[in-house]
Amino acid sequence: MRQSLHTLQIATAGKGLVEITPRIRPWVEAQRIATGLLTVFCRHTSASLLIQENADPDVRADLETFFEDIAPEEPGRYIHDSEGPDDMPAHLRTALTQVQLSIPVAAGRMALGTWQGVYLFEHRSRPHRREVVLHLLGE
């Protein structure tokens, strides 16, 4: 049994979903672990992780709209607004999704379903640089 650690740097372009499966997959496969567990961890409180459909981009647009509605940028709605109107909504959107995902590895690959992609969900309006830690354990 052995383990590997790696940190991805993901550049975002403001609010929305960035698919990171193509960043994770080659690293996992390069570790040559046949069976194991991959953990993906987002080191932020205003960006999160989501496994979602990787086929139709409209799904990402609808997800963004949904989270805009459920945690709206509204002056006076939140006490915490030190970094602007998108600050507290970003924390709420993070709370409602995940900052960590663990995915079994089988036959050397992530055991994702056919339509599943791994996404970094940026919740701030401006572009950010995000750190995502990958931990793989297995043999």
Residue 12 vs 97, nearer CB to a second copy? 97
Residue 25 near a second copy by CB under 8 A = no
Instruction: Output 80-87 pairs: Cβ under 8 A, ≥24 positions apart.
Output: 84/125, 86/15, 86/123, 86/124, 86/125, 87/46, 87/124
Alpha-carbon distance values, 34 to 37, 49, 106, 120, 135 (Å): 10, 25, 6, 25, 15
Residue in 9, 22, 26, 58 binding a second copy, rule: CB under 8 A: 58
Residues 6 or more apart whose Cβ sits within 8 Å of residue 5: 133, 134, 135, 136
Residue 78 vs 125, nearer CB to a second copy? 78
Fill in the per-residue mask, 95 to 114: x = in contact with a second copy (CB under 8 A), - = not in contact: xxxxxxxxxx-x----xxxx
The whole-angstrom distance between residue 70's C-alpha and the CA centroid of its chain comes to: 19
Residue 39 vs 125, nearer CB to a second copy? 39
Other CB atoms within a 10 A radius of the CB of residue 67 amount to: 20
Give the sign of the dihedral formed by CA 127, CA 123, CA 114, CA 132.
positive
Give the binding-site size for a second copy (rule: CB under 8 A): 57
Residue in 11, 14, 29, 43 binding a second copy, rule: CB under 8 A: 43
Residue in 13, 30, 32, 66 binding a second copy, rule: CB under 8 A: 66
Q: Which residues bind a second copy (CB under 8 A)?
A: 1-3, 5, 35-37, 39, 41-45, 50-53, 56, 58-59, 61-63, 66, 70-71, 78-80, 82, 88, 91-92, 94-104, 106, 111-116, 131, 133, 135, 137-139
